[in-house]
């Protein structure tokens, strides 16, 4: 079963994403902070990661930078603010494969995850 790490400071958002992924046969591990995400990555392998750009007082871009120091897992950044070309370019420069604007539907989420998993190098 493919495993997805979901990093978002909002419990409801993490829960909805995790349930949606599980309904589609994927395992989801929620994390509410950079620290939780890094701890999860230290002990487990993931096929993809979803990271919210705004993690409460933290910054999802910094989370992405820290993950990229030691891990090449495919990453999608999520954003509740306007997603424009600059945000997409920043995400690409920092090593993310895509940006998913919030709110999104279950279909949009699953299409994004499918593209992410298809682009995974070891597939």
Distance CA 53, CA 74 (A): 16
28 Cβ contact list (under 8 Å, min separation 6)? 3, 4, 5, 6, 17, 18, 21, 22
Statement: residue 4 has pLDDT above 70: yes
- What are 19-43's pLDDT values in tens digits? 999 999 999 999 999 999 999 999 9
Statement: residue 109 has pLDDT above 50: yes
Single pTM value for the model: 0.93
Of residues 81 and 121, more confidently modeled: 81
Whether the Cβ atoms of residue 40 and residue 31 lie closer than 8 Å to each other: yes
Average pLDDT of the residues in 86-107:
94
Fold for 3-118, please state it: Rossmann fold (3.40.50)
Instruction: Tell me what pLDDT residue 122 has.
Output: 56
- What are 39-94's pLDDT values in tens digits? 999 999 999 999 999 998 889 999 999 999 999 999 999 998 777 888 899 999 99
> Looking up tokens 């954003």, which residue turns up?
79
């Amino acid at each position: 079963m493919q495993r997805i790490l979901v990093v978002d400071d909002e419990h409801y958002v993490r829960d909805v994403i995790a349930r949606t992924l599980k309904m589609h046969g994927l395992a989801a591990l929620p994390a509410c902070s950079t620290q939780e995400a890094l701890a999860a990555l230290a002990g487990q392998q993931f096929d993809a990661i979803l990271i919210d750009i705004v993690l409460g007082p933290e910054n999802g871009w910094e989370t992405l930078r820290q993950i990229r120091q030691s891990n090449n897992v495919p990453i999608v950044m999520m954003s509740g603010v306007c997603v424009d070309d600059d945000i997409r370019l920043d995400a690409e420069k920092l090593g993310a494969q895509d940006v998913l604007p919030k709110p999104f539907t279950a279909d949009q989420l699953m299409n994004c995850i499918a593209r992410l998993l298809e682009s995974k190098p070891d597939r």
